[in-house]
Homo-oligomer: A and B are copies of this chain.
Amino acid sequence: MKRSKKKQFHEFMSGKGLKSTRQRDVVLDCFLASDRHMSTEELYMKVRAKNPTIGYATVYRTLKLFAESGIAREIHFGDGQTRYEHVAEGEHHDHLVCTRCGSVQEFENETIERLQQEIADQFGFQVETHKLELYGICAKCRQ
């Protein structure tokens, strides 16, 4: 699982004639070891803990590469922080975002995915990705 994303990223890099570096490996390890929805700042903190000489710019640039390579996707939960989430090929999940404690629960639903496709077809629209987020109060916060 982790191995394959690492491989996917390295293949993307060499395919593009880009270089694998110590810094990028540290960022990749931190990203893969992380919770699925980490803000750029949180990731930067983890990276610094492993190697304090790595700069913010490198983290930003590396995350963009992750997105290009397909192992990550940028997401916004509306709190002003850009986050990146893991992408597993062929899989898509949506989110229940608690507006009280900030926790994020993922879910998948085939029927919704199919309905989305139908709607898009009605409009002659070709879907590339989608985003479905439900905001509210999670079970824990409701007691």
Q: Which residues of A contact B (CB under 8 A)?
A: 74, 76, 78, 96, 98-99, 105, 107, 109, 111-112, 115-116, 119-120, 123-139, 142
User: Can you identify 7 A-B contacts, CB atoms within 8 angstroms?
Assistant: A76-B76, A125-B137, A125-B139, A129-B134, A129-B135, A130-B132, A131-B133
Choose one: B98, B112, B127; the contact of A136 (CB below 8 Å): B127
A76 to B75, CA, bound (A): 10
- Taking A76-B78, A109-B119 as known contacts, 11 extra A-B pairs with beta carbons closer than 8 A to each other, sorted by chain A number, are A76-B76, A98-B125, A99-B128, A105-B125, A112-B115, A116-B132, A120-B134, A125-B136, A126-B142, A131-B131, A131-B133
A137 touches B131 (CB 8 A): no
Q: How many copies does the complex hold?
A: 2
A92 shortest CB reach to chain B, Å: 12
Cα A137 to Cα B127 with chains together (Å): 7
Chain B residues within 8 Å of A134, by CB: 116, 119-120, 125, 127, 129-130
Alpha-carbon distance A45/B109, docked complex (angstroms): 42
A96: B residues at CB distance < 8 A: 119-120, 123, 125
Do residues B119 and A107 form an inter-chain contact, with CB atoms below 8 A?
yes
Distance (whole angstroms) from the CB of A25 to the closest CB of chain B:
28
Q: B107, B111, B135: which contacts A130 (Cβ < 8 A)?
A: B135
Q: Least Cβ distance of A53 to chain B in Å?
A: 29
